A and B are shown apart, each in its own frame.
Chain A
Amino acid sequence: MRKLIYFFVRALRNMRQSPFLCTAAVSTVMVALVILAFFAMVILNIEQLTRNWSREVQVSAYLEQPLNADAVRQKSSRIELFPEVEDVAYISPQQAYERFKVRLGDDADILQGMKSDFLPASFSISLKEKFRNRSGVEKVVERLQQDKQFNDLRYGQEWLEKFEAFLALMHAAGLILGGFLLFAALFIVSNTIRLTLFARREELEVMALVGGTPGFIKTPFLLEGALQGAAGGVLAVLISYSFFQVFLRENLAHLLIASGVGRIEFLPPLWQLALVVTGACLGLIGSFLSLRKLVRI
């Protein structure tokens, strides 16, 4: 414990004694993490957008004949018991007619002369979020097929396939771009730390010459890297939050709303914490890589 306190004090003292180097390292981590924070924000908001889109994933089960109120209640509660199902709504032929009319808009006059019950009654079934995918939909459809009263089941296969392909692409792009950004951040941070350590190579040499063990020499520098990284992480959260408040929320909001995002969100607390931890890890790994090359006793 005494040793740990000593290492901690020395890491802080090192930072105080070389304010310029310390500022350089913290700023580099900060810049790298601000970029990463914006990337995370984009991913988060696209996820939000796809979550909105996924509400479109519904199963429409068309009935041969309209049902009376009791039968509707019975069937609804039976479908609601499916583990994948979130909500069930019965749409009578008249309701279907009204919706169709609304959708036709100016062309609604083509319905003139048609009876208001010519469309089939149906159940509109929406799914819980984690089942809004092909396998979830197929499970529900499979169960519904056993009910002979349904003569047609529709779930927008083509749309679902495109949606899933988009999600897969987004996840892959997220992983590749995120990985690339993280790697670039590590590269930049590690090089900055190497420069700061290079400026202190004499100190490292003297430490070794007066009998410092590799652990004794490296630990304060690793701790220093981690502390600088964490400080860079905290600053990155603060800066990206200010930027979010000033620019994204005010100026870009209307653009984003037009593209279907209800409102744009900042990183939740857990993501903010993850950013600070990422900063600490970047500093730690950056110091570790640099020390490996500089401290050869």
Chain B
Amino acid sequence: MIQIYNLTKSYQKDAAALKDLTLKIPKGDFVYITGPSGAGKSTLLKLLYAAEKPSRGQILIDGKNLTRMNTSKIALVRRRLGIVFQDFKLINTRSIFENVAFPLEVQGKKRYEVSSKVYQAIKHVGLEHKLKKFPLELSGGEQQRVAIARALVIDPQILIADEPTGNLDPDVTLEIMELFKGANARGTTILLATHDRDMIRRFPRRTLSLDQGRLVEDRMF
């Protein structure tokens, strides 16, 4: 369960990127966060994975206040989060296998455990034949699938995706949405920022609409 109370983030004095946001996201939910550019979608996600600190307000994940945690505790929370970025954020000097293995390495998992989980995750996104390739040898869609495999390999409680299909063509978008739906069906809470109205129409789910940093609509399906 994610609880957000009076969340405000200002980068400059008189311009808040997010204003007084309050909402609850139950465990296992699939939520779109939508709105025009500059609406505050990315800011909200960054606050959720603690890449930014709020100017005011609280974020509770499973009852624990994220805004009051030190860096070591935040690291432990992030181990339960899967994060997918529009620009993938893969490490180009590491192979696909190594990229996906990275979150498990961080958690100190044993090698045999890492190998089998990584193989499963990569197979799940259909790239098991490209284990030894490097990110720059793959297409954009393939790189995003690697990023999703990296996010899902830890069986995350919450998956946060910031415009994951922003740069991809419609066929690849469909494939990726299927991966998210699958993860959601296995119990992962999904938070997906997008401004792709068409995608929301095709896969309707709870939709939070932001505009100029404010929540203007919370639509349930």
Contact = CB atoms under 8 A, between A and B. Distances in A.
Q: Do the two chains belong together in a single complex?
A: yes
19 contacts: A6-B108, A17-B94, A200-B93, A203-B91, A205-B89, A206-B102, A207-B102, A208-B75, A209-B89, A210-B83, A210-B106, A210-B154, A211-B81, A212-B106, A213-B76, A214-B71, A214-B75, A216-B106, A297-B71
Given A18-B93, A297-B71, A209 B51 contact: yes
B72 A213 contact: yes
A6 B83 CA distance: 25
Question: Which 8 A/B pairs are nearest by Cβ-Cβ distance?
Answer: A211-B79, A210-B103, A211-B78, A17-B93, A213-B75, A212-B106, A297-B71, A203-B91
B179 interface: no
A17 to B, nearest CB: 4
B112 to A, nearest CB: 14
Contacts of B102: 206-207, 210
Given A17-B94, A297-B75, A207 B89 contact: no
Given A3-B108, A211-B76, A206 B91 contact: yes
Interface residues of B, number: 25
A203 B103 CA distance: 12
B93 A213 contact: no
A147 interface: no
Q: Which of A200, A212, A214 has the most CB of B within 10 A?
A: A212
Interface in B51-89: 51, 71-72, 74-79, 81, 83, 89
Interface string A132-166: 00000000000000000000000000000000000
Nearest to A209: B83
B107 interface: yes
B9 interface: no
B119 interface: no
Contact of A202 (B49, B89, B105): B89
Contacts of A18: 93
Given A17-B94, A297-B74, A297-B75, A211 B106 contact: yes
B183 to A, nearest CB: 16
Contacts of B154: 210
B215 to A, nearest CB: 25
B93 A203 contact: yes
A212 B75 contact: yes
Interface of A: 3, 6, 17-18, 200, 202-203, 205-214, 216, 297
B150 interface: yes
Nearest to B72: A213
B91 A202 contact: yes
Contacts of B93: 17-18, 200, 203
Q: Which of A17, A206, A210 has the most CB of B within 10 A?
A: A210
Q: Which of B77, B93, B105 has the most CB of A within 10 A?
A: B93
Nearest to A212: B106
Given A205-B89, A213-B72, 5 more contacts: A206-B90, A209-B51, A211-B106, A211-B107, A297-B71
Contacts of A210: 78-79, 83, 102-103, 106, 150, 154
Interface string B100-127: 0011011110000000000000000000
A203 B150 CA distance: 14
A225 to B, nearest CB: 18
B89 to A, nearest CB: 5
Interface string B115-157: 0000000000000000000000000000000000010001000
A17 B93 CA distance: 6
Contact of A211 (B51, B75, B90, B94): B75
B104 to A, nearest CB: 9
Contacts of B107: 211
A213 B76 CA distance: 8
A6 B106 CA distance: 11
Given A17-B94, A18-B93, A202-B89, A207 B74 contact: no
A155 B72 CA distance: 69
Nearest to A21: B93
Contacts of A205: 89
Contacts of B91: 202-203, 206
A213 B103 CA distance: 12
B95 to A, nearest CB: 10
Nearest to B104: A210
Nearest to B102: A210
Contacts of A203: 91, 93
A17 B135 CA distance: 14
Contacts of A206: 89-91, 102
Contacts of B75: 208, 211-214, 216, 297
